[in-house]
Each structure stands twice: as C-alpha cells, then as structure tokens.
C-alpha cells in the first residue's frame, strides 16, 4: 500500500508462482493447502506510488509512499478505533462490524482505499497480512492508542491471539526474531530483542490504518509485516529475501486453514471450506493459522436452514478464568455467489470461524428471535490440522410447528 515499499510486492508474485509450481509438481502440503482454502494475493494496492518510486530510482525514503493524490493510504481508512474506544467508555456492547457507526470522515476516501474496503466487506476473510518495508517486525493491533499518546501499548480483546499470529511469522522468518541482528531506522533499534513483534500503538500510534479497519469492520484478523530495513531492495537480494520469508509465509497461511486469507495476500473459502485470509502487499491465505481456534455453522434447529448474521461470543474460562472476549464475530451473511475481481466465490449462510489460542472456552451463538446456545470447548491447535468443528442449532423463540385443533382447542 506504500508504493516505495516494494519487497512485499515481489514476494507475493513469487509466492503465487511457488504455489502453482509446487501444486503441479505434486507437493502434498501445497496441494492440501490450496485444495482446502482460497488464497487471495494483492501484490500492489498503490500502483501509482510504485511507479513514482521506480521512476525516481526507489532510494528516497518517502517518494512514492503516497498515491497519485499525495494521500497515505494507510491513514485513509475510516477510524474505527475511536468508535471502539468510545463504545468501551460508554459501555456500549457493540464491539464488531463498526463501519455502520461511521458518521463522518476526516478526509475523502481514496479510490484505492474504497476498492479494498469493498473487497473486505464482500468476501468472508478470516486472516490477512499487510506487507510493508522499512523495518523488520510483525506488528499487531491495536495500531491506535486509547489515550491519544504517540506511544502506548494498546491491547485489543484478542491480544493473545494476535501475539500468537505475529510470533508465528517472526519465529519462522530467518532473522526477524533474532536479538543479534542489525536493527533498522535512525536509532538502529532491533525488534528481535522483543521476539520480532510489537503492538502497533506501542511502536507509534496510527489512525486510519488498514490493519485495525479489518479487525473492527469484519470477521478478519490482520497483522502488519515489516519485511526489512531497505524499502526498495536491489534485484540481487530478492532470492535471499524469498528464502528468508518462504517458510513464514507458508506457516502463516496454515493458521487459517479451511478459511480465507488475504495478503494483500487474501484468501477466501473454496467450495464448502473456510475463507482463511489474505496478504496485501497484502496477502490473504486460507491456511495453518485459520486452523487455530474453532469453526462451524449456525442453523435453525427446526428447519435445518443455515442462519446468517448470528453472533458468536467467546468467554475464556482457562484455569478458572471467567473473561469475556469483547470482540464477537458473525456467521456468514448470505448464501450467494459473489463475483469478486471476476472470480466466483461461494459464500454460505451460517458459517463462522473464530481464531483462538489453546485453552478452555465457552462459545455462545445467538440471534434475534432465537434462544442462545452455549458450548464449552477445549482448543488445542495441532500443527497443520483443521480447527475443530462446533455447530449450533438454535431454537426459535416462537415455534413454527403446525397448529392442530381438536375439541379442547389448539395444540402443537
């Protein structure tokens, strides 16, 4: 999304080639990943910025960062963090899908931003990564500080899950988590001294970023990957960069297996499977991480019909806790076929995915006009195994059974 941060673009193009080549060569792991998930790769969100950076040699730290209208796209998304923080302060229970609460914008939405927002809201992504350059670290929500401070650790309700996702990438990268590597930036700080990860707001607070927008507007969990000190590396280091990132990219996609992932890369469900994620340069992948937590379907107990827009709420009861995770997800909204970027995507009512770290949880599904249903589950998260399935059959508050009449009056 920053046109002068080009390594992510090249890695995603290479990843696409790698997945196709290995699939055709019969690589069992790649075939399983591709067959069980839909992977969305968006190599460039800011082609104009990339062209400007390339035409000027790519060595300036800022030239090409913004789009052709001189707007930083990673400050251009609706600021849902402020809405979330306001809801918390006012004890308003609304903690997800907050786009409907936006009543004003600080600046016009750019065409590139609008296109990505449309994609986020149209496809049921579960996991994604946003690829940047200029440092070497996996960054996780929140990106915006609660108090307005420039640097302040600001945890999301899913702080432990986001740490897990960030570490899953940093630990598999060849040097991201190394405390002995050379640092980046004017101060030369090495994030490897903190395991190669950082809370976004603890690093520096950002408003209007894409990472938090994904989390607060949809069911998607996104982290930001800073892939290296050099924003515009030379061609002769690209093979090494691929080898440094390949295992981490593959493992990250596995987190959402049976789901959709996008990476800017993005992934969506394929057939009856999950939408894991994406990578944007951005990547979304349906892979290992979406295989963490639980998945399932919500149905009407009487008709068997899948139920859209049911709320999935989670309480962490590990070790005697009784902690509500104040970020709900919802079941699939519509049973239809979407045409996204000329690709047909099957989206089914009632499907849901909830990323969770290992532990004991009480998961509750509820929807208007239905009685809530709760299930106690233990999450283990075995490597490269699909997430356990937890289905919900919700009973209508008013039964739709046929009314029979006899001499004593109606009965069901």
Low-confidence ranges of the chain (pLDDT < 50): 258-259, 265-276, 285-289, 335-346, 403-407, 409-412
Model pLDDT, residue 104 = 83
| CA distances, 43 to each of 6, 256, 264, 283 (Å) | 9, 20, 6, 8
| CA distances, 337 to each of 100, 276, 348 (Å) | 24, 18, 9
User: How many CB atoms lie under 10 A from the CB of residue 135?
Assistant: 20
Phi and psi, residue 258, nearest 5°: 70, 55
Model pLDDT, residue 10 = 96
User: How many CB atoms lie under 10 A from the CB of residue 195?
Assistant: 18
User: What 8-state DSSP symbol labels residue 32?
Assistant: H
Which domains, from first to last, does the chain contain?
7-280 (3.40.630.10), 293-394 (2.60.40.1120)
Contacting residues for 312 by C-beta, under 8 A, at least 6 apart: 298, 328, 329, 330, 331, 352, 354, 363, 364, 365
Model pLDDT, residue 400 = 66
Model pTM above 0.85: yes
User: With 0-12 CB in 10 A as exposed, 13-18 as middle and 19+ as buried, what is 344?
Assistant: exposed
Active site residues: 226
pLDDT tens-digit map of 186-241: 789 999 999 999 999 999 999 999 999 999 999 999 999 999 999 999 999 999 99
């Amino acid at each position: 999304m920053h046109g002068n941060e080009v390594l992510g673009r090249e890695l995603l193009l290479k990843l696409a080639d790698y997945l196709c080549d290995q699939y055709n060569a019969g690589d069992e792991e790649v075939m399983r990943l591709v067959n069980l998930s839909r992977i969305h790769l968006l190599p460039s969100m800011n082609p104009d910025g990339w062209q400007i950076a390339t035409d000027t040699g790519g060595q300036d730290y800022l030239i090409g960062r913004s789009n052709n209208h001189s707007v930083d796209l990673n400050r251009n998304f609706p600021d849902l963090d402020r809405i979330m923080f306001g809801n918390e302060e006012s004890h308003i229970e609304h903690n997800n899908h907050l786009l409907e609460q936006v009543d004003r914008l600080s600046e016009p939405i750019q065409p590139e931003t609008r296109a990505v927002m449309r994609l986020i809201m149209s496809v049921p992504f579960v996991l994604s990564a946003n690829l940047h350059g200029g440092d070497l670290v996996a960054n996780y929500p929140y990106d915006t500080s609660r108090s307005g401070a420039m640097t302040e650790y600001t945890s999301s309700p899913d702080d432990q899950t986001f740490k897990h996702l960030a570490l899953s990438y940093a630990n598999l990268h060849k040097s991201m988590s190394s405390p002995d590597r050379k640092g980046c930036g004017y101060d030369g700080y090495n994030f490897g001294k903190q395991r190669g990860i950082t809370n976004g707001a603890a690093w520096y607070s950002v408003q209007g970023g894409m990472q938090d927008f994904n989390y607060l507007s949809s069911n998607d969990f996104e982290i930001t990957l800073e892939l290296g000190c050099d924003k515009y590396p030379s061609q002769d280091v690209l093979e090494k960069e691929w080898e440094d990132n390949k295992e981490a990219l593959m493992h990250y996609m596995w987190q959402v297996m049976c789901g959709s992932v996008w990476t800017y890369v993005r992934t969506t469900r394929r057939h009856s499977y999950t939408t894991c994620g994406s990578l944007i340069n951005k990547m979304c992948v349906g892979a290992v991480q979406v295989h963490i937590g639980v998945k399932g379907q919500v149905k009407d107990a009487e008709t068997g019909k899948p139920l859209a827009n049911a709320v999935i709420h989670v309480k962490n009861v590990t070790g005697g806790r009784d902690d509500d995770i104040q970020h709900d997800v919802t079941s699939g909204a519509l049973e239809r076929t979407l045409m996204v970027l000329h690709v047909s995507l099957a989206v089914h009512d009632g499907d849901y995915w909830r990323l969770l770290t290992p532990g004991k949880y009480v998961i509750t599904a509820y929807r208007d006009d239905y009685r809530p249903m709760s299930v106690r589950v233990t999450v283990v998260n075995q490597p490269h195994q699909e997430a356990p399935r937890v289905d919900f059959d919700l009973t209508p508050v008013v039964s739709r059974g046929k009314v029979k009449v006899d001499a004593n009056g109606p009965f069901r």
